[in-house]
Amino acid sequence: LACLGFFLDQRVRAHVGGQDKPFCSAWPSAVVPQGGHVTLWCHYRPGFNIFTLYKEDGVPVPELYKRIFWNSFLISPVTAAHAGTYRCRVFHPHSPTEWSAPSNPLVIMVTGLYEKPSLSAQPGPTVPTGENMTLSCSSRRSFDMYYLSREGEAHELRLPAVPSVNGTFQADFPLGPATHGGNYRCFGSLRDSPYEWSDPSDHCPFLSQETLQVVGLHPLNQASKLVSSHTCLL
């Protein structure tokens, strides 16, 4: 039994130090408003609850320096300094000098650092099912990159901003054929601080004719009841 225990312990130690890495996540979201809060979690196998957390880029975070954490780490209030890429490593519960491989990179985006851009829908907030849809994000601030997010989805689309004839900096997001619609917002960032974002634009909802039919509305005379003029510039 002693030999078996030694053998299993050696397998665990090799396992922890190998490429079976933990998973780093953010709750409730990796996109966090300035002044808000976010909890960083380091997920691994049961019994492996102690971890260290480090930031790979941007401004150093003093509260992470030479510290270990149990299960999670709360950042509150969030500031621009917290924007960046994080990884965690898990300690072996019986040998704190042995660490796991680094986790996946977790990018924290901090919003609210610049004024919000405008978001507009082309050809309009209601389109026939199957017709192509484009959302345009623009601002008079010289943003270098725009990010478009859809409510309920975890990942953003991104496009570089280009100067337009009206003096703004703009990105056009082609969404392809309209199906069930959605609720969108966009953010802007500068080249030197890609994880520090603007305030979100106003919501830009668009509805397909199929969506309107599902909820029992006629697309021509009822759309205005669902889409207010101030939430999506036309």
212-221 core/surface letters (b: 16 or more CB in 10 A; e: else): beeeebebee
pTM above 0.75, yes or no: yes
User: Over 60: is that where the pLDDT of 60 sits?
Assistant: yes
Residues 6 or more apart whose Cβ sits within 8 Å of residue 213: 219
pLDDT digits (tens, 9 = 90+) for 174-188: 987 765 567 889 999
Higher local confidence (pLDDT), 124 or 66: 66
Share the mean pLDDT of the chain.
80
**Domain contains 92:** yes
Domain interval for residue 36? 22-111
How far is 16 from 84, CA to CA, in rounded Å?
26
**pLDDT at position 140, please?**
97
Domain final residue, candidates 111, 137, 158: 111
User: Over 80: is that where the pLDDT of 93 sits?
Assistant: no
Return the CATH number at 27.
2.60.40.10
pLDDT above 90 as % of the chain: 53
